Amino acid sequence: MIPRYSRPEMTKIWSDKTRYQIWFDIEAHACDALALLKVIPEKAAKTIWKKGKFDVARIEEIERTTRHDVIAFLTNVAEHVGPDARFLHQGMTSSDVLDTCLAVQLARASDILLQDMDALLKAIKRRAFEHKNTPCIGRSHGIHAEPTTFGLKLAGYYAEFLRGRQRLESARHEIATCAISGAVGTFAHIDPFVEQYVAGKMGLEVEPVSTQVIPRDRHAMYFATLGVIASSMERLATEIRHLQRSEVLEAEEYFSRGQKGSSAMPHKRNPVLSENVTGLARLVRSSVIPALENVALWHERDISHSSVERIIAPDATVTLDFALTRLTGIVDKLVVYPDRMRQNLDRFGGLVFSQRVLLALTQAGLSREEAYKLVQKHAMKAWEQGKDFLAELSTDPAITKRIKPPALKALFDVRHHTRHVDTIFKRVFG
C-alpha cells in the first residue's frame, strides 16, 4: 500500500478513520436493536448516536496499555458518550465487530473493483471491434501457427475478464456477511434479531453459523478470485510485452511526449506499464495462499488469521484497483500496427497455410501420413532455405497432379481463416 501504486478512493476504505467509523456504526446499530428489544433504554441508544465519536490518536494511546484494539476503541468512545456507554457491546465479542467490519470493507472494495473491470471490458471491446478484421499471425509455443485477427485476440481477453467479473460479483456476495452472535457464536447473551438488524443496516447478509468468527472459506474464495483476475491481467500484459518486442513490433504501449525509455539509450521505448502490471499481479496472487491457510482456525476461534488479513485485505484490493486502472489505460491507448502484422504474417513465405495443403491432399486421395510427409518436406526446405512455400509445392508433381495450380494458390488465402470471425464475436459480445 505505497502511494505509487494506490488510488485514493480505495485506500480510504482501509484508513484507520474509516475502520473505526464502521466499528462505531456496528455498535450503534446494535444498540438500536437492543433498544427495540427493550434490553437497553431507547434514550441510551440515541445518546450513543448523538455523542459517540472517536479519536484515532487517542485509541492508539489507549491500546498501548490495553494491548486490545476493540477495548481501546470502546474506551475512547465511552470518554465522549458518558454513562450510557455501558450499553455498548452488550453481549457481543470482538470478532462480531472485526469480522462484520471486514465484510463491509471488502464489499466496498469489491464495488470499486467491479467498476474497474467495467472500464477495462469497455476498452477491450472497443479495440476488439476496431481490429475485428485486422489479420495477424497466431502463435503456439511462440512460433508462427496460423492466421487469426487482432480483434479475435482481444475478444478472447474480453470473455476471460467477463468471467472474472462474474466471479467477483459472486465473491462479493459471499463475503458480505455479518456476524453478531457473541462468544463462540451461540447468541447466549444477545438475541439473533440484533444480528439481523445490523446486517440490514450495513448492507450485509447474516452468517448462518459463525462459531465466534465468520468462516474463512468465504475469505479464501474472495482472495482466490482476486488472484485469478490478476492472472488474467498478467496474461494480457505478457501478450502486449511480446508484441512490442523489436523483432515483432505488432503493437506497443503509447509513448508520450517527453517520455524517456532508458537513462543510457535514447532510442528505447519499453513496455514498462505492462511489466508493471505483471509485477503487481504477482503481489495480488501472493495473498491467495495465506488466505487459504486462514481457513483452518482452532475450534471456535483463534487469531492466527488476523495479522494476515490486516495486510492482505488492503494490499490485495488496493494493488488490484491500481493495476486494473493501469491496464485499462494501456489497452485504451495501445498503438497497433496492422501493416507490421501483415508483414509478419507473410514472413515465412506462406508456411502458415501448410494445414490447408495437408487437408486438401487428404481430400484428394492421399493418406494423412503420406500427405503430411509430402507437405513437411517442402515446408522444411522453405523454413531452412527461405524458399517460397507455394513455389516449392508447385514444382512437385505428386502435389500438382492432385491439386491444380489455381486451386493450390487458393489455399493460401488468409480470408479462409477469418471467415468465422462474426460468429465468434456474436458468441462473445452478443
Residues involved in catalysis:
141, 262
Task: Give the separation between CA 56 and CA 36, rounded to whole angstroms.
Answer: 31
Contact 34, 90 (CB under 8 A): yes
- Grid coordinates belonging to 244: 512490442
Q: What is the phi-psi region of residue 299: left when phi exceeds 0, alpha when psi lies from -120 to 50, beta otherwise?
A: left
Query: Can you tell me the distance from the alpha carbon of 220 to that of 148, in angstroms, rounded to the nearest whole number?
Result: 38
For residue 207, give the DSSP letter. Answer: P
- DSSP notation for 293-349: HTT--STT--STTHHHHHHHHHHHHHHHHHHHHHHHHHHHH-EE-HHHHHHHHTTTT
For residue 251, is it left (φ>0), alpha (ψ between -120 and 50) or beta? beta
C-alpha cell at 197: 438488524
Q: Do residues 253 and 240 lie in contact, with contact meaning Cβ atoms separated by under 8 Å?
A: yes
Radius of gyration of the chain, Cα coordinates, nearest whole angstrom: 30
State the amino acid at position 126 in one-letter form. R
State how far the Cα of 344 lies from the Cα of 120, in Å rounded to an integer.
28
Please name the amino acid found at residue 129.
F
**String of DSSP letters for 416-430:** HHHTTHHHHHHHHH-
